[in-house]
Amino acid sequence: MSARTLPFLAVGAALLITSCSGSKGGTAAPASVPPAAPASSSAASTTPSTSAAPAPSPASDESTGSDAVSRYEAFMHAAGREDIKTVCEIAGPAAKKAQDEGLGPCEKTMPMAFQLISPAQKKALQSATVDRSKIKETATKVTIPASAVKASVKFTDSDLGDAVLENRGGKWYIIAD
C-alpha cells in the first residue's frame, strides 16, 4: 500500500506526486491530484519557503527545465524529510485545486500521506534526483515522468506519477494538469 501513496505527494506530480490505493471512488483521476493547499491565513501562503529552490531566471530559456527540475528535487527531498511547509508551498496550485475538490488543506492531509510512505521510500526521496534528459518542456511547463526519478529505491509510474510544473511569477510550482 505504501507504494501507492506517492501520487498523493506528487502529481505529477507530481510528486510526489493524491490518494493511496484506498482512496474514495477508486478511480485513477484522484491519484493525479496532489494534496490540498494551505488555508489562506496560514504562514505557508504568505511566507515563501526558505528551503525551496531559487526562482528561475525568466530571461534564460536554457535554464527553464533545469530550474523546474531543481524545484521538483527540492519537493521530493522535502517529502522525504516530511517537511510539510516546503511540500505544501511547492505543490501550492495543485494542492489548492485538491482542497477545492474537498480533500482538505495540505497541512492536514500531508501528515497522513507521510505515514503511508515506507521508511525506505522516505530515505530514497531525500536524495532523489531527476534525469534531465527525460523531461518534457515547453516555455511555461515542464513534465517530469516518474521514470526520470533516480533514487536508491525504484519508483514506478504507479508509485510516483508524472509531475507537471508551471512557472508562475518566476517560481516553479507543481500543478494539477
Cβ atoms of 72 and 78 within 8 Å: the answer is no
In this prediction the pTM is 0.68
Cβ atoms of 161 and 17 within 8 Å: the answer is yes
pLDDT of residue 155: 81
- Residue in this structure with the C-alpha cell 489548492, named with its chain if needed: 96
Digit-by-digit pLDDT tens for the chain (177 residues) are: 233 333 444 433 333 333 222 333 333 333 333 333 333 333 333 333 333 333 434 434 445 778 999 999 999 999 999 999 999 999 999 989 989 999 899 999 988 889 988 999 999 999 999 999 999 999 889 999 999 999 999 887 887 889 999 999 899 999 977
**Contacts (Cβ under 8 Å, ≥6 apart) of 81:** 122, 126
Burial class (CB in 10 A: 0-12, 13-18, 19+), 54: exposed
> H or E segment at 143?
strand 141-144
pLDDT of residue 156: 78
CA distance readout (Å), 161 to 14, 118, 126, 127, 169: 6, 17, 18, 18, 25
